[in-house]
Amino acid sequence: MAEEGASVAVVDSDAGRAEKAAGDLKDRGGVAIASVADVSDPDAVDQLLNATDEHLGAASILVNAVGISEGQNVFQTDPGQWDRTLAVNVGSYFLCARALGIRLRDQDTPGAIVNVSSTNAFYAEPDAIAYTASKGAVEALTKGLALELAPVRIRVNAVCPGIIRTPVTEGMLAESDDAETLLATWNSAHALGRMGAPHEIAAVVAFLASDDASFVTGSSFIADGGLSSGWLF
């Protein structure tokens, strides 16, 4: 999106990660700022948008791309882990969409929201009950927001990636007792025979946020290399 000329506010709960991402965009000629916020906190979300407005001008595009996975299966996940996962993975999407929607409605300005979800919105996997439930909720939230925000000219869509080579998956490989086998399993689970790369998901996000997708709302785009076309594992 920065390559297309958008000014970007990078938000993370970790200052180092936010600064690095913003710095990478600046090095490539983009305009970016780094912000630190817990986007599951309503007050933090309002402060975040105020800061974005101050430094970059009024925001009109929101990409919700935050997620955690706490707990494991239904027996091993305690209520606190369940609540935290839903608060971050779904609650933050609602809070950010609501805050942006209020601003754009009052300014009579069109906008776009893209929710980064997962193939777990449609297919469960073992030992991830809270995460799976949260992604199903993001699917429903996307459709609900699309209906309610359409009258104020805000489109809302979702992107559902497969397994992507990110710092999270790199960390899982590093912690694995057999990283080679785990990597081979992940790769073979996709019809294309490999995991995805972050830029491949970013391209779908950028399309949905752009005017090229002006007649697209309430949709979930599966970008999973064929992961969901057959048996997952």
- Is 123 annotated in the active site? no
User: Domain coordinates of the chain in residue numbers?
Assistant: 37-229
Q: What is the pLDDT of residues 20-56, one digit of tens each?
A: 999 999 998 999 999 999 999 999 999 999 999 999 9
Write down the catalytic residue from 93, 94, 131, 186. Answer: 131
Q: Which of 60, 21, 12 is nearest to 202 (CA)?
A: 21
Distance CA 195, CA 58 (A): 36
Prediction pTM value: 0.94
pLDDT averages per 10-residue partition of the chain, 233 residues? 88 95 92 95 95 93 94 94 97 98 94 96 91 97 98 98 92 94 94 95 96 97 91 55
- Residue 213 has a CB neighbour count (10 Å cut-off) of 18
CB 113 within 8 A of CB 155: yes
Please give the class, per CATH, of domain 37-229.
alpha beta
